[in-house]
Structure 1
C-alpha cells in the first residue's frame, strides 16, 4: 500500500522511532546576520506569513490506536506560533563563544512530538557582541526535512532581494482542518488495501501481483548487509563511547573557491577535500589526547539524490556511502590523494549499489540508515560470519550545497550559516556538517558535551587543516 496524502513516509516514521533516550533526531543550523536585529514582533509576523508556503509546519504527528499502522500528519488544532518562534538574548559580552553555548543548550532539548516538530530562535547579542549583528537558530525534526530540504525551508524565510520577495501569499488567517475520527482513518486504510488487492485500479493490482514486488523487503535487508560489509569493520575509538543527552557545537570556515582550487590541484572534488580536512583534524585530535591513531577509521557520508525540480519538496532524498579515512597518513596531500581514489572507487562499487538498494526499496535515509547500520555492527557478535563485528563506521561527515548568492532576512544580510548534524545512533560522540553559501564553506561541528569537551580545540584543528590545504 502506498503512502496516503497525510501518511508519514517510511523514512519519516523511522526518524521518529529513532528518537529515544539521549538520541535527538533534529537537524538545523546557526545563521549569523549583519546589522541590528528586527523587532521580534516583525520577525514573528514574517515567519507566520511564510508558513502558508509550508503547511506541514502547522501539523503534528498523529499516532493511530495500537501504533500498528503508520502515523499521519494532521493540523494541530491548538497550534501556537509562540511555542515555535522564540526570542532570546545572549548575555554580555555576547560573542560567538556565548552563541555557541546557547546553540548547544537549545540542541540538547528534544522536540515535543505532540506538537509541530520545529523551532526557530531570534538571538540578540548584548554587550560588545551587539556590534557583530544577530543570529537565528533553526531546529527541525528529521521527519520534516533532510539536509538539502532544510536549506530550502530556510529559503522560505529568507529572500534573495534585501527589499523582500512578492510570493503571492493570500494573507488569510489559517484555520485547522477538522480531525478525522480514528475509525474513519482505519476504514480508509482498509479500503486502500482492498482496492489494491481487488484490482481497483487495475494498474495497482498488477503491481501488487508483480513477482518483483515482494522482493522489496529482501532487497532492503540485502542492501543494508552489503553496505555494512562493503568496507572493513573499524574499532571503537575515543569518539565512539556512550553518549548523553547534552550537546556542544563549534564552527570553522573557509572560501569555496580556495577549496575548489585545492581539490582541482589533485584532480579531486570539494567533497574529497572536505573529507581530507576532516581526516587531518581527527588525526590531530587523537594526537592531542595522546592516544593511538587508529589504522582503520570510516565515515558515513550522506549524498543527495534529489532530482531536478524537487528542490522545494519536503521529505528525504539522501543516499550514503561508508568511506575509509586514512588517519594514519601524516602527509596532507597524500591523504587527499588516497581519499579521492577511495571515493572514486566506491562510487562504482558494490557499496554504491547497496546504498541504492536501501533507498529504492525502503526510502530509509540517515539518520535511519546510520542507526540500522550501527545496530548491525552491534549485533555482529552472534552472527560474525555474516556481518562484521565492531563498528561499520565511526562518525558522519555531511556536505550539502546552500544558496550560491547572498540572501536576506527582513533586509539583513546573512553572513554565515553553520549546520547541525545530529549524533545518531549511540556511540557516535562527534559529527561534522558542512554547507556552502555565497562563496563560503562553513563547518558545523557537534559533540557530546561530556565526551568531546575539547570540541573548540577540534574546531581549531579543522581551521589549521583548511589553512594547510588552501594556502
Structure 2
C-alpha cells in the first residue's frame, strides 16, 4: 500500500520519532554529525548565490526532511517553523591547485549546522579554472543516500520529478530470514581480518574519485551476465586485490563489506529519517581472475535478491525493540566486522538547475564506528562516478580509482 506523503495535508507533526537506523547512527557517532553529501558538477558560468538562495527559499518549506532538527531531549526530530535560508545556503571558492575531488573533500570537513537548526545546507562551490559544483549536505542521522537524492532533486532541480526507484515490499523467503539472522549473529563474531584496511582510525579523512561512462558498465554486465552493481563490486574487488598485492606480494582474503539497500517506499521520498537496511557481502579479493571474481559476485548478489534479503532484514528489524535493534545495527556495521559500506545510487536523469545540466553526481558520507574506508557508485544520466572515502592513514588508497578503471578494462578484455 502506498503511504500518503508526509505533509500532504498541509501540516507536519511537531515531533517525529527516530527510527531504528536513525538511532543506530546516533549511537555510532555519539551524537556528532556524520555528513552525507551529494555533489553535482557543472561546467560554464555559475549562478549567483542570491539565485540559489531564491530557489531554496521557494522549495525548502515544502520538503519534510528539511523541516526537522534533532530533538535535544529525546531520540526524535522536532519541527522548525521557519527556515532562515541565509543560514543554510553558502558559497566558497576553491584554491588554484584544487583537483576535481576538492569540493567533496571540503564538504566532509566544513562544520555542520548546530543542533538548534536542521542539519542540512547547500553550497555553491566555485572551481579554480571555471566550472562549479552545487552540493547538498545533510546529517546521516536524519537522512540516507536515497533520501538525500530525492531531497536534492526536489530542492534544486528545475523539474523535480524522477529520482531513485521506490522500494516495493515483498514477502521474504526462509533463506532470506536465515541470512538476515546470520548477519545479526555475525556482528558479535571475532574481528574479521582485513589486512589492507585494518588499523587505528586517525579521525582525518579524505576522498578520491573517478568517472566512466555508464554505458560501459552496462555493456560489461551484458557480456558477463550481471548488473551494473555487479560490475562495480567486481572491479572494486579486483582493485583491492591488485592494491594489496602491490604493497605486500600476497593475496588479500575475501573482503567483507556492508551493502546498503533502500526500503524507502512510495510517498516517503523526502521524509526525514533513514529507510535502509544492510547485508554483509564478501568481495572475492583473493581471486586473481576478474572473470572468476565476477562469477562469484554475481552468485552472491543473485542469492541476496532471490532470497529477498532486503525484505527479510526489514521484517526482522520491525519485530525487534527499537533500542535493541539500534545497538544490533552498530554491531553489524563497524570496523571490526566489515571494511565499510559499498553502496550504489542511481540518481536518474541529470540534475538541471537554472537551465544548466550537471555533468556528474556523487553521493558519499563520512566515516564512523571504526570504519576507515567506504565506496559509492553514483549513476546520473550517462555518467558513473566511483568515490572512495578513506582514513588519511591509508595513504595509498588514492590508487584505487585508477585500479578500479584497470579492472574494468580487464573485464572488457576477458
Aligned counterparts of 2:302 and 2:352: Cα–Cα separation in 1: 37
Q: In the alignment, which residue of structure 2 is the partner of 1:394?
A: 339
Deviation at 1:37, TM superposition (A): 0.5
Q: Match for 2:25 among 5, 15, 27?
A: 15
Q: Say if 1:95 and 1:71 are closer, same or farther in 2 by CA, change over 3 A.
A: closer
Deviation at 1:57, TM superposition (A): 1.8
Gaps of 5+ in 2: 1-11, 162-177
Residue pairs, 1:294-373, within 5 angstroms: 294-348=252-306, 355-362=313-320, 371-373=330-332
Q: Say if 1:223 and 1:279 are closer, same or farther in 2 by CA, change over 3 A.
A: closer
Deviation at 1:350, TM superposition (A): 9.5
Aligned counterparts of 2:27 and 2:103: Cα–Cα separation in 1: 31
Q: Say if 1:55 and 1:351 are closer, same or farther in 2 by CA, change over 3 A.
A: closer
Deviation at 1:396, TM superposition (A): 1.0
Q: In the alignment, which residue of structure 1 is the partner of 2:77?
A: 72
Aligned counterparts of 1:100 and 1:317: Cα–Cα separation in 2: 24
Q: Report the 3-state secondary structure (helix = DSSP H, G, I; strand = E; otherwise coil) of the residue aligned with 1:394.
A: coil
Q: Report the 3-state secondary structure (helix = DSSP H, G, I; strand = E; otherwise coil) of the residue aligned with 2:40.
A: strand
Deviations 1:219-275 (A, max 9, x none): xxx997531446997314231322133221111122222212211222212211111
Residue pairs, 1:83-232, within 5 angstroms: 83-96=87-100, 98-106=102-110, 109=111, 111-126=113-128, 129-130=129-130, 133-159=131-157, 226-229=182-185
TM (norm. structure 2) is 0.81
Q: In the alignment, which residue of structure 2 is the partner of 1:82?
A: 86
Deviations 1:10-31 (A, max 9, x none): 232332333239x752211221
Q: Say if 1:47 and 1:325 are closer, same or farther in 2 by CA, change over 3 A.
A: same
Q: Say if 1:228 and 1:59 are closer, same or farther in 2 by CA, change over 3 A.
A: closer
Q: In the alignment, which residue of structure 2 is the partner of 1:443?
A: 386
Q: In the alignment, which residue of structure 2 is the partner of 1:239?
A: 197
Q: Say if 1:331 and 1:399 are closer, same or farther in 2 by CA, change over 3 A.
A: same
**Is 2:251 the partner of 1:293?**
yes
Aligned counterparts of 1:56 and 1:326: Cα–Cα separation in 2: 38
TM (norm. structure 1) is 0.72
Deviation larger for 144-153 or 305-314: 305-314
Q: Could you list the runs of 4 or more consecutive aligned residues of structure 1 that deviate by over 4 angstroms after TM superposition?
A: 222-225, 229-233, 348-354, 366-370
Aligned pairs, how many? 382
Q: Match for 2:404 among 452, 462, 468?
A: 462
Q: Report the 3-state secondary structure (helix = DSSP H, G, I; strand = E; otherwise coil) of the residue aligned with 2:359.
A: strand
Q: Report the 3-state secondary structure (helix = DSSP H, G, I; strand = E; otherwise coil) of the residue aligned with 1:469.
A: helix
- C-alpha contact (below 8 Å) 1:53/1:156 kept by paired residues: no
